[in-house]
Amino acid sequence: MKFGMFVLPSWPQRDPSHQGRIFHEMIEQIQYAEELGFESVWLAEHHFTRFGIVPSALPLATYVAGRTKKIRIGTGVSVLNFHDPVFMAEETAMMDLLSDGRLDFGIGRGQVVYEYANFKVDYETRTQRFNEIVDIILGLWSTPGFTYHGEHYQVDDLTIAPSPIQKPHPPMYLAVSRTPGTIDDAVTRGLPMLTSANTPDEDVLGLRDLYAARCAEAGVVPKWDDMPFFRVTYVAEDQKTAENDPRDALAWVADLNGYRRTLTGGSEIYADLDHWIKTRPEDPPSHESRLESTAYFGTPDRLVERLKNLRDQHNVQYYTAHFSYGDLDHEKVMRSMKLFAEEVMPKFR
């Protein structure tokens, strides 16, 4: 199996002075992941929220490239509809060059309504726009004098510089939703798919089954070795500690993610989350149910057991752990990473 780390620096404190510390701790965790032998790190993009304070994954990816030597650097994901396609092609090519060919370019349309409203991008045409942007990026990466005329974007006789190192181009990964259409797009384009760390196991594994069926219909081999399985992860020496240490941090992230999806515009950064929690129309999943569906918390032996099940029963070959979330203490995160790398990963290599 391969192992990666997913990074989403959230900002629980309202005081902006904490943001610098959060980013410094994130970089230290990434460097430690490289030292521990993780193959990749994946960086997420979000806007106008404390849920994740990386508004563009590519500048951060380029910075990470300068602070690391060999770990692959993925975007998980870059929301293409909020970026100019030509500029994205140029930036990704430069990042691939500066990192000596370590870019894994994860892309998605984005599903959060208020982000579209704030960027003044039409939500109803997001799929068409996204597909045109993908066509343009792929064309500019590989074709001098590239021309493209779509409904939303046009390019005439363009050649970008620098060119990406990886050939035919940097690996591209497609975020899929729960609709068959996005999975069909991944199969048609020959791209590994990305799924959310917050989607329950049952649903993610169902998407993987549908992907396998669509691959079989198309006569292509599923890209299991290149398909990260993202999961919130925490490892400790005893099960009770592993389940309880990250309880509040996980609940805060889940609550904030739920609240921001109710917005149609503006931002939740200074909103009263506690009021929403008290008045929301339905109760969230319990901590115990999350331990069964999305959170891989446990001793090294328990994690080995769960990962063996994923590998043997569901062909998961690439596990990507989300170690740091909410206000989980940095030292606890580093200790959890160390236990995972030293006592879990060797069982699968």
Average pLDDT over residues 291-318: 98
The pLDDT assigned to 177 comes to: 79
Question: Which residues span the domain enclosing 292?
Answer: 2-348
Average pLDDT over residues 118-129: 97
- The structural domain count of the chain equals 1
User: Rounded to a whole number, what is the largest CA-CA distance in the chain?
Assistant: 61
The pLDDT assigned to 154 comes to: 98
CA 96 – CA 164 distance, rounded (Å):
5
Please report, rounded to a whole number, the percentage of residues in the chain having pLDDT higher than 70: 100
The pLDDT assigned to 180 comes to: 82
Q: What is the pLDDT of residues 320-337, one digit of tens each?
A: 999 999 999 999 999 999
The pLDDT assigned to 14 comes to: 87
The pLDDT assigned to 178 comes to: 74
Average pLDDT over residues 50-62: 97
The pLDDT assigned to 27 comes to: 98
Please report, rounded to a whole number, the percentage of residues in the chain having pLDDT higher than 90: 98
User: Which pLDDT band holds residue 142 (cuts at 50, 70, 90)?
Assistant: very high
Chain mean pLDDT for the chain: 97
Residue 131 has pLDDT above 90, yes or no: yes
Residue 250 has pLDDT above 90, yes or no: yes
Q: What is the pLDDT of residues 190-243, one digit of tens each?
A: 999 999 999 999 999 999 999 999 999 999 999 999 999 999 999 999 999 999
Residue 179 has pLDDT above 90, yes or no: no
Cβ-based neighbours of 202, under 8 Å, separated by 6 or more:
293
Average pLDDT over residues 158-166: 98
The pLDDT assigned to 32 comes to: 99
Q: Domain containing 341 — which CATH number?
A: 3.20.20.30
Q: What is the pLDDT of residues 165-175, one digit of tens each?
A: 999 999 999 99
Whole-model pTM over 0.85: yes
